[in-house]
């Protein structure tokens, strides 16, 4: 299952790159150091509520849109995880069973 701060970081970076903005553009707009913003984008730091709000403002993207995108990515991961835990149904008779029958 993904880690929330990684997904938030990915979504923030994707939004920034989509706008053709640099880390410097957004860090100065959000009044956060470039290094810290970079760590948030790479999921190495948890952004506080206030910082996340400032980054959204600097990106001019509503918080709701960032959270919705993060939610969508979790939903995809959750559905994939459900598939992964489904019991696999073999479509051939296992070798062990075959050999038992042979006796």
Site residues (CB under 8 A) for its own copies?
Answer: 1, 3-6, 46, 48-50, 52-53, 62-65, 67-68, 70-72, 74-75, 78
The residue assigned the tokens 């489904």 is 86
23 exposure class (CB count in 10 Å sphere: 0-12, 13-18, 19+): middle
Select 14 or 75, whichever has its Cβ closest to its own copies: 75
For the bound state, the minimum distance from the C-beta of residue 81 to its own copies, rounded and expressed in Å, comes to: 10
For the bound state, the minimum distance from the C-beta of residue 83 to its own copies, rounded and expressed in Å, comes to: 14
Select 84 or 93, whichever has its Cβ closest to its own copies: 84
For the bound state, the minimum distance from the C-beta of residue 49 to its own copies, rounded and expressed in Å, comes to: 4
Select 24 or 62, whichever has its Cβ closest to its own copies: 62
- CB contact set of 31 (below 8 Å; sequence gap of 6+): 54
């Amino acid at each position: 299952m993904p880690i929330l701060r990684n997904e938030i970081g990915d979504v923030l970076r994707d939004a920034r790159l989509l706008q053709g903005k640099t880390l410097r553009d957004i860090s100065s707009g959000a009044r956060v150091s470039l290094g810290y913003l970079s760590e948030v984008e790479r999921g190495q730091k948890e952004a506080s509520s206030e910082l996340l709000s400032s980054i959204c403002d600097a990106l001019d993207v509503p918080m709701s849109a960032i959270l919705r995108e993060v939610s969508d990515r979790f939903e995809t991961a959750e559905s994939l995880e459900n598939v992964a835990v489904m019991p696999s149904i073999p479509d051939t008779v296992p070798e062990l069973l075959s050999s038992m029958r042979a006796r």
